[in-house]
Amino acid sequence: MSNSAVSSVQQARQALGLRLREIRKEANLTARALARLTGWHESKCSRIENGHMTPSPADIRAWTTHCGVPHETEDLLAAARGIEGAYVEWRRLERPGLKRAQEAVLPLFERTRWFRMYQSWVVPGMLQTPAYTRAVLETIVALREVPDDVTEAVVVRMDRQKMLHTGRHRFAVLVEEWVLRTVIGSPEITVAQLGHLIAVAATPSVSLGIIPLGRVRGGGWPVESFTIYDEAQVNVELVSAHLTVTQPGEIHEYAKAFAELSGLAVYGSQARSLITSAIDAIG
């Protein structure tokens, strides 16, 4: 997990643990006494209170019952669900199928007006061709052993791209140059994708920046791929999981990183030249 993932999830766990400790102390119970009442090992209370583990729903119900505050249960359960929802393993997220995973983000996309997208892995989904999307999703099916509903998932993603043309959304997109030179699916699929990237970059709602290879990285280090949705949240793509960041301070850190990366990028004719160069290299 990246440092920012650790920070986000850990802070939420610590806040929940602190509240549970306060409840225990207000009930005049020691950690040992609460553990005895619940049938836990005493170290479990310590791990929960210090933010080293997220309590399960059963743990929270036992805690509030023995501390005499059952009215606190629902709020604490909601806090725990928020922690679990912040860091979700891809296997768990995609278990119902890739189509469902694509549909799940539609409400977030529809209510967002300003997207800031940074990609260090693949061409962003909003700018993909159907064949490129299929190649990416087929790789996910093979690697993560999730249900193969790629055809349906591609339809959902392509339909989402209508947002590029409504005039209600703005997309600031940054891509590392090595993404352009990474062959996905086949050389033909990748070359067609790069041609599409040149075309879609001319869309009024899209600002496309390419960060050239060899650029001196005094600031704007390459990081995990992420998307900032207005000022409301950040979604981060980790190798094993999907991270949702909602704390204002951390959203600010991602916005700062995006600004620094933007300063390294080239745009317009210079960006097109890099894409054309990648096409020539692959072709």
Q: Same structural domain for residues 102 and 126?
A: yes
Residue 2, both tokens = 């990246």
C-alpha dihedral (30, 32, 38, 44), degrees to nearest 10: 110
How far from 238 is each of 29, 66, 214, 225, 231, CA to CA, in Å? Answer: 40, 39, 24, 8, 21
Q: Same structural domain for residues 133 and 259?
A: yes
Dihedrals phi, psi of 208, to nearest 5 degrees: -110, 125
- Number of structural domains, the chain? 2
User: Which of 35, 62, 86 finishes a domain?
Assistant: 86
Q: Same structural domain for residues 210 and 104?
A: yes
Strands (DSSP E) contained in 99-254 are 114-119, 170-176, 206-211, 225-229, 233-237, 241-245
The pTM (predicted TM-score) of the whole model is: 0.76
Q: Same structural domain for residues 82 and 108?
A: no
Q: Which residues contact 113 (CB under 8 A, 6 or more apart)?
A: 168, 169, 170, 230
User: What pLDDT, on a 0 to 100 scale, did the predictor assign at position 1?
Assistant: 40
Q: Same structural domain for residues 185 and 227?
A: yes
The strand order across the sheet containing 233-237 reads: 87-89, 241-245, 233-237, 225-229, 114-119, 170-176, 206-211
pLDDT in tens, 73-92: 988 887 787 776 677 767 77
Q: Half-sphere exposure of residue 58, counting CA atoms within 13 Å on the CB side?
A: 3
pLDDT in tens, 174-218: 999 999 999 999 999 999 999 999 999 999 999 999 999 999 888
Q: Same structural domain for residues 62 and 109?
A: no
Question: 53 lies in which domain range?
Answer: 3-86
User: What pLDDT, on a 0 to 100 scale, did the predictor assign at position 92?
Assistant: 75
Length of the chain: 283
Dihedral sign, Cα of residue 250, residue 252, residue 257, residue 258 = positive
User: What pLDDT, on a 0 to 100 scale, did the predictor assign at position 185?
Assistant: 96
Q: Half-sphere exposure of residue 16, counting CA atoms within 13 Å on the CB side?
A: 32
Query: Are 181 and 282 spatial neighbours (Cβ–Cβ below 8 Å)?
Result: yes
Dihedral sign, Cα of residue 6, residue 143, residue 234, residue 256 = positive
- The mean of the pLDDT values for the chain is 91
User: Which of 86, 116, 138 finishes a domain?
Assistant: 86
Closest CA to 174 of 248, 256, 118, 98: 118
Q: Same structural domain for residues 121 and 10?
A: no
Residue 280, both tokens = 């020539």
User: What pLDDT, on a 0 to 100 scale, did the predictor assign at position 277?
Assistant: 98
Q: Same structural domain for residues 168 and 257?
A: yes
Q: Same structural domain for residues 152 and 212?
A: yes
Q: What's the CATH number where 77 sits?
A: 1.10.260.40
User: What pLDDT, on a 0 to 100 scale, did the predictor assign at position 109?
Assistant: 96
Q: How far apart are CA 235 and CA 245, in angstroms?
A: 6
User: Which of 69, 86, 103 finishes a domain?
Assistant: 86
Q: What's the CATH number where 230 sits?
A: 3.30.870
Instruction: State the Rg of the chain over Cα.
Output: 23
Dihedral sign, Cα of residue 112, residue 190, residue 122, residue 277 = negative
Q: Same structural domain for residues 37 and 127?
A: no
Q: Same structural domain for residues 253 and 139?
A: yes
DSSP 164: G
Low-confidence residues of the chain: pLDDT under 70: 1-8, 84-85, 89, 240
Q: Same structural domain for residues 7 and 102?
A: no
